[in-house]
Structure 1
Amino acid sequence: MQYSGKVEYAQQRKIRERNTALYRLAHWPIWIWVFFLAPGPLTFSLFAHGFGRGNLAWLIAVLIGTGIAALRGSLPGSEPRPYILRFDEDKPNPLYRRVCYTFAWSAVLTFALLNLSGLLLAAATGHWYMQQIYHYAYFPLCGTILLLGTIGVLPRVRPSTKGEGTERRYFYGSVWAVTISQALLLAFWKTLPETRAASLTKLAIFVCSLLLLGFAAYRGALPRTRPIVPGELMVAD
């Protein structure tokens, strides 16, 4: 089906020669959050039982690791100057970008799929099995996504940046849809009782949110979800 949503023209985008210190600093918390989520069962424990010693130890490790990478300009958005200027240029995709976006895809997809599975089971059986799901299924699913990133299948993780003008919209569309839907799910998970009817309500809200936001992203109605069509230059984070 031919795309009929909003587009951006590369020649109309303002070219940024250098990234300001504030711009670079603003990207650091994003990658802190991405890597902090990486050990899924530990993250599940955080939301289920609160912040524990394991969470603190992992957070310190992530702060140190991402902080060093940010200072060296080895996190997307933390570079002294934008790496990508021409969206269709066949340019090597640096290893740090491929690693970071692979883990970002894992954070986006793994939690959404596992939470959806838990909701489906709860709606069907009336019982919650989220802890068991995260214990047994998180690492196989996460490992599969990391493998896809390693072989360069995922958008923004491919060996070349040639498709960046389109691939970025898949990434940001997924981020918008999953992040907002997960926040809604968390709010209703905390407020609604653990009954079968409530589980059906949570499932409906979660799925509808994913579908509506996914459609909005497809139409280019959300930030950074419009394809960038051929022109002169662009800047991509």
Structure 2
Amino acid sequence: MRERNKITYRLAHWPIWIFVFFIAPGPLTFDLFERGFDRRMALWLGAVLVATGVAGLRGRLPGVEPRPYIIRFTEDRPNPLYRRVCYTLAWSEVIAFAILNISGLTVAIATGAWRLRQMYDVAYFPIVGVVWLLGALGRLPRVKASTENEGHERRYFYGSVWAVCLAQPVLWLLWKVLPRTTSADALKLAVFIGILAYVGNMARRGLLPRTRPIVPGELAVSD
């Protein structure tokens, strides 16, 4: 059993949370992919590096703790606030980006007008706000008051993350190389939803990292 997390293990998890917090301002992230890196993003990235660096040194980021917090997947332990905050933020981004991309493409197909940037301005923070509220109420997987169901909840979380993280860059690539026509937008939407469905099904079957079924009492550090 691993009693302490190696420095390399902790450092490997830090960039994950840098990325999660960096893309939290959805409209700013939209500008990043549309126009490229600018001064606003540099300032925000600097703030994220400092904040996550301090949190990591204090062991207040998931995976960056000095010792593994989850020992057995079905163990009933209090879920620390930092884990609940981090996973709530990750959930909000996964859900908001997927909803807005699908909605934006649907509107473009129906009207012939590309309004995704305006939709991010209007709807991104209301969407993530709802998810943050659900997280505060302990209604999201991995964000509940207890870690008792971690073995199952992690499958939902990682399955969703894998699906959106694979579909999003493919959609961005298609947005760059395909024309902005109704037929091209329909293809983008079909590919995006297709990847979400395919990867989600792979996660359901336990074929992706950290999505396999968990045996009750299994050691978390063995995964």
Category of TM-score, reference length = shorter chain: over 0.9
The reply to whether residue 65 of structure 1 matches residue 44 of structure 2 is no
Bigger Cα displacement from structure 2, 47-56 vs 130-139: 47-56
Bigger Cα displacement from structure 2, 222-231 vs 174-183: 222-231
2:73, 2:148 within 8 Å by CA — same for their partners in 1? yes
Deviations 1:98-144 (A, max 9, x none): 00000011111111111111011112222111111000000100100
Percent identity, aligned pairs only, is 64
Taking the aligned partners of 1:74 and 1:236, their CA distance within structure 2 comes to: 22
TM-score normalised over the length of structure 1: 0.92
Taking the aligned partners of 1:158 and 1:196, their CA distance within structure 2 comes to: 42
Gaps of 5+ in 2: none
Taking the aligned partners of 2:34 and 2:113, their CA distance within structure 1 comes to: 16
> Secondary structure of 1:235's partner?
helix
The reply to whether residue 76 of structure 1 matches residue 62 of structure 2 is yes
Paired letter, 2:96: T
Q: Aligned residue pairs: how many?
A: 223
Gaps of 5+ in 1: 1-14
Paired letter, 2:104: G
The reply to whether residue 218 of structure 1 matches residue 204 of structure 2 is yes
Match of 1:121 among 107, 113, 116: 107
Partner of 1:112: 98
Q: CA RMSD in A?
A: 1.2
Taking the aligned partners of 2:123 and 2:63, their CA distance within structure 1 comes to: 32
Taking the aligned partners of 1:236 and 1:123, their CA distance within structure 2 comes to: 47
TM-score normalised over the length of structure 2: 0.97
Whose relative contact order is higher, 1 or 2, with alpha carbons under 8 Å and at least 6 apart?
1
Matches within 5 A, 1:79-158: 79-158=65-144
1:152, 1:159 within 8 Å by CA — same for their partners in 2? yes
Paired letter, 1:187: L
Match of 1:165 among 151, 172, 186: 151
Q: Which runs of 4+ in 1 moved over 6 A?
A: none
Taking the aligned partners of 1:16 and 1:115, their CA distance within structure 2 comes to: 41
